[in-house]
Structures are given as C-alpha cells and as structure tokens.
C-alpha cells in the first residue's frame, strides 16, 4: 500500500517500522477470514484489514477519534491474521505503534483509566497478586461473579522443587500471575527437566516480562521491565546457563521480542538480542530432548488448547501435541484450533462481552471430543477457560509430571 506519513508520525521513534508494515499490506483481505473479532462482529473495521486502514489514515494525519481507539481496543493481539497473511505483514508491530500513537491523543473515560491503572498496579507484581488471590479465595462467596471466575477453582500446591544438581542449567522466568494462580506449573517443569538432567534456576531480581504494561500502552514501563530482566539474567547467562525457559507462552512471545523492541537502545540492543535468541518455550526443550522409549501409557483423554502466543506468535503450533503423543497420551480432535479463547492478557477484563463469547465458543470446540482434561500452555488461557467451571483446564507439563511420578512409583513397586 502506498503511504505518506504525516510530519508528526515521521517523528515517531518507530516510524520506519510502521511505514514498512503499511507498505507490505496489499489490502487483499485474506486475513479477515481468520480474525476472531471480525467473525463475531462482521464489521470491516473490527478485522485486520480495516484496522490497518484506520492506522494508515491516522498516521497519515487524518483526525483521530475515540471510534478508532475502540476498534483497536477490540483487537485481541492474537496475531491469527499474521499466520493467514500471504504477504508476511507484521500486523502486531503496526498495532503497537498505532495504539501508542492514539493513546497520546485520545483521552480515555475515567472508568477505563482507573481499570487500566488498577490492572497495571497489581498484575505485574507477583507478591501483591498472590496475596490478593489468597484473599479472594477466602472471600470468594461474597465476591461478584465476574471476580469469582478469575480465581483458581482448585489451588494445587507446588510440591517439591528438585535440588540444583546438574551441570546443564537453564533459567526460568517465574512470571507475575502464575506463581499465585498455578504455583505447581513451574515446579512441575523443574521436576520434569530434572529427569532430563537439566536444572532450572531462577534469577531473583527478574520479574514480570513487561507484556502487561507494554500492551496496555505503557510501553516505556514495559521496556524498563525488559531491561531489568536482562540485567537479572545476564550473570547466569555469562556463567553458562543455556537458555531462558518460559512456561507461559504469553511471556515467551514477549521475551522473544526484546531484541526487536530494544534494537535502538545503545545500552541494551546487543544483550536484548542475545536474550531473545536464548529464550525457549518449555516445549522446545522437550521437543529436542531424548525421551527414549518412555511411554507413559496414560488413559487420560486430553484436549489441547494451543494459545495464540504459542501458535501465531512463536510459530510452535503442533509442538505440544507432538510431545504429548510421543509420550503416549491420547488427544482429542479440536475444531478451529487456530482461534483465540478470548483471554488475551487483560482483554477478559477490558472487553468482557467479546471475551466471554470467544471463551464459550472455544470451550464448545474443545469439549466436542469429550476430553477429561483440557491442557494448555499459557496461564492466561488456563485461568480464563477454567473459570467457566466446565472441563478442568491445566498446564500440559503438570500432566506429564504426574504421569512420570506414577510411572516411577510403579517401576519401584
Ligand atoms: S494484512 Fe495481509 S492478508 Fe490482510 S489485507 Fe494486508 S496483505 Fe492481505
Ligand atoms: S490480532 Fe487477532 S483480533 Fe487483532 S486483527 Fe489480527 S486476527 Fe483480528
């Protein structure tokens, strides 16, 4: 598409990136076919092609309105459109730039500002978030239904983490909400990797990956969190840690972008690039691990919900399913597995109506093969789907961890 950025837009630090994305779109509209919000709303401006057009107009100097902001707010950042686009348009890069641009110019109503600043004040802080989760569980019967569904149905304790005993070491990002909502996930990952002679280590100074702030248009705060994590991980990487493991695909997708997002930072560009290159979703370790002839012979019927951040952002669709099947689990067929569940970071709170429709549609598809458990790879999706109170939803690594433990028990008996 021909573009002619306005004088104001040309001053943006990422103007060249915006221009490149806009020029790569040929306006064919193939992407609309797989866009969840376009499917629900049927409005061209709630699909990727329309949003690209709105951002083009905005960056070329057209008046900016609250309506444009609403269409951009409704986007899930699921990146399904990127998987579909035949021209390789990096939609999410343009969306980040466009959302930041509009945020500076269109004031939000008070309620929205309070909700957004409240979320940013709580979500990225693991200690505060965990304390509020515990308080919420005690007070659950007295909370409104909209908050009850955000709390874990069953708080599974973490269990024992193995001692750090192997020469092969990998860092793990503990995450911000996961330790409070599903403390067993990272502990299970540590136990499974311990069986593969890999010790998981943490960097205590590392914290939230920065995605929450960044995607709520506090982009500089999000990047500061990225810089802090890079500083926290660097000594361990210099000491030989092989990788930085993410058990939440949302965090992994963002950390893999540190290199691109900090490419113009003279102090962090090189380190950020290295951190991104060394970042792995947990499944990538198991994909390449020697699982031998181990067959867990499990009779549990599973359905896998592949998070958008795993399949569309990290391009790892099919990876978890392949590992589970290699280990002997049976997986049900899930129709329209490319679609978003409506969790999308804080979307379930900022766009509750759309989010709930997407969740119900996804659960109908996931349950169509009558699984006993749904497994997924991102804490946001896990809590969002589980909150419906239907089929239980867990992280896939917990299922492997439990099967390994019972396999070991049986072989010692
Ligand atoms: S983003 Fe890709 S699929 Fe969508 S209109 Fe542009 S070129 Fe076509
Ligand atoms: S990121 Fe998802 S919701 Fe947003 S335009 Fe692309 S497909 Fe649609």
* 300 pLDDT tier (thresholds 50, 70, 90): confident
CB half-sphere exposure, 164, CA atoms < 13 A: 10
Lowest mean pLDDT among 98-102, 141-145, 305-309: 141-145
DSSP for residue 351: S
What angle separates helix 219-238 from helix 269-278, to the nearest 10 degrees?
Answer: 70
Concatenate the DSSP letters of all residues of 157-186 into one string.
---PPPP---S-EEEE---SSHHHH-THHH
Question: What is the pTM assigned to this prediction?
Answer: 0.92
Closest of 55, 37, 42 to residue 1, by C-alpha: 55
Query: 309 CA to middle of ligand 2, Å?
Result: 12
Considering only CA atoms, which residue is closest to atom 7 of ligand 2?
A: 35
pLDDT score for 179: 74
CA distance 185 to 161: 11
Q: Which residue has the tokens 């309506």?
A: 67
Q: Is 309 in the pocket of ligand 2 (CB under 6 A)?
A: no
* 135 pLDDT tier (thresholds 50, 70, 90): low
Asked if 226 contacts 261 with a C-beta cutoff of 8 angstroms, the reply is: yes
Q: How far is CA 299 from CA 293, 305, 371, 372, in A?
A: 18, 19, 11, 10
pLDDT per residue over 235-259, tens digit each?
999 999 999 999 999 999 999 999 9
pLDDT score for 157: 81
**Ligand 2 pocket: which of 46, 72, 75 to mutate (most atoms within 8 A of CB):** 75
Closest of 238, 241, 150, 232 to residue 200, by C-alpha: 241
Helices (H), 25-173: 36-41, 48-59, 66-73, 80-84, 91-103, 110-122, 126-139, 145-148
Q: Could you give all domains of the chain from N- to C-terminal order, each with its CATH number?
A: 7-103 (1.10.1060.10), 126-287 (no CATH), 301-412 (3.40.50)
Number of Cβ atoms within 10 Å of the Cβ of 301: 14
Query: 387 CA to middle of ligand 1, Å?
Result: 34
Q: Is 39 in the pocket of ligand 2 (CB under 6 A)?
A: no
CA distance 74 to 179: 28
Sign of torsion over alpha carbons 37, 40, 46, 47: positive
Lowest mean pLDDT among 82-91, 139-148, 173-182: 139-148
pLDDT score for 345: 83
SS3 199: strand
Query: 22 CA to middle of ligand 1, Å?
Result: 10
SS3 120: helix
CA distance 140 to 152: 10
Closest of 306, 353, 261, 311 to residue 73, by C-alpha: 353
pLDDT per residue over 3-38, tens digit each?
899 999 999 999 999 999 999 999 999 999 999 999
Average pLDDT of the residues in 175-194: 87
Query: 257 CA to middle of ligand 2, Å?
Result: 18
CA distance 386 to 389: 6
SS3 281: strand
* 149 pLDDT tier (thresholds 50, 70, 90): low
Query: 343 CA to middle of ligand 2, Å?
Result: 13
Return the ligand number nearest the Cα of 84.
1
Cα angle: 353, vertex 217, 80; to 5 degrees: 55
Asked if 72 contacts 105 with a C-beta cutoff of 8 angstroms, the reply is: no
Q: Is 80 in the pocket of ligand 2 (CB under 6 A)?
A: yes
- Cβ-proximal residues to 88 (8 Å cutoff; 6+ apart), any chain: 24
CB half-sphere exposure, 233, CA atoms < 13 A: 32
DSSP for residue 359: H
Structure tokens at 114: 């309070």
Closest of 393, 365, 309, 362 to residue 76, by C-alpha: 309
Q: Is 310 in the pocket of ligand 2 (CB under 6 A)?
A: no
Q: Is 391 buried (19+), middle (13-18) or exposed (0-12) by CB count in 10 A?
A: middle
SS3 118: helix
pLDDT per residue over 106-132, tens digit each?
888 888 888 887 777 766 766 666 666
pLDDT score for 378: 96
SS3 18: helix
Strand order across the 330-331 sheet: 330-331, 301-305, 373-376, 393-395
pLDDT score for 126: 66
* 348 pLDDT tier (thresholds 50, 70, 90): confident
Q: Is the pLDDT of residue 327 over 60?
A: yes
**Ligand 1 pocket: which of 3, 21, 49 to mutate (most atoms within 8 A of CB):** 49
């Amino acid at each position: 598409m021909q573009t002619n950025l306005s004088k104001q837009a040309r001053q943006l630090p990422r103007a060249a990136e915006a221009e490149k994305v806009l020029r790569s779109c040929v306006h064919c509209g193939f992407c609309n076919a797989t866009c969840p919000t376009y499917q629900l709303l049927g409005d061209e401006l709630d699909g990727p092609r329309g949003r690209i057009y709105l951002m083009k107009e905005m960056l070329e100097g057209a008046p900016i309105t609250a309506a444009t902001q609403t269409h951009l707010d409704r986007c899930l950042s699921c990146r399904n459109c990127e998987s579909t686009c035949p021209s390789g348009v990096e939609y999410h890069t343009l969306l980040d730039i466009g959302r930041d641009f509009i945020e500076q110019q269109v004031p939000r109503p008070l309620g929205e500002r309070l909700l957004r600043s409240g979320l940013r004040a709580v979500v990225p802080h693991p200690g505060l978030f965990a304390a509020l989760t515990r308080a919420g569980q005690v007070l659950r019967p007295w909370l409104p239904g909209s908050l009850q569904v955000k709390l874990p149905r069953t708080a599974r304790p973490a269990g024992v983490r193995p001692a750090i005993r192997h020469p092969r070491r990998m860092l793990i990002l503990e995450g911000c909400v996961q330790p409070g909502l599903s403390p067993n996930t990272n502990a299970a990952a540590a136990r499974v990797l311990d069986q593969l002679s890999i010790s998981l280590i943490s960097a205590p100074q590392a914290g939230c990956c920065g995605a929450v702030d960044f995607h709520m248009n506090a982009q500089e705060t999000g990047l500061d969190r990225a810089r802090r994590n890079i500083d926290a991980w660097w000594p361990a990487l210099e000491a030989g840690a092989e990788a930085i493991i993410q058990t939440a695909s949302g965090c992994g997708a963002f950390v893999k972008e540190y290199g691109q997002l900090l490419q113009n930072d003279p102090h962090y560009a090189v380190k950020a690039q290295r951190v991104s290159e060394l970042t792995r979703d947990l499944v990538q370790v198991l994909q390449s691990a020697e699982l031998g002839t181990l067959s867990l012979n499990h009779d549990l019927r599973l359905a896998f919900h592949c998070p958008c951040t795993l399949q569309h952002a990290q391009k790892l669709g099919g990876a978890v399913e392949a590992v589970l099947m290699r280990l002997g689990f049976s997986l049900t067929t899930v129709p329209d597995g490319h679609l978003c569940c409506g969790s999308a970071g804080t979307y379930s709170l900022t766009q509750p109506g759309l989010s709930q429709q997407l969740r119900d549609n996804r659960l109908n598809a996931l349950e169509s093969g009558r699984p006993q458990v749904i497994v997924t790879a991102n804490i946001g999706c896990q809590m969002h789907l589980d909150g419906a109170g239907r089929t239980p939803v867990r992280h896939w690594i917990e299922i492997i961890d439990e099967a390994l433990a019972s396999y070991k028990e049986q072989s010692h008996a």
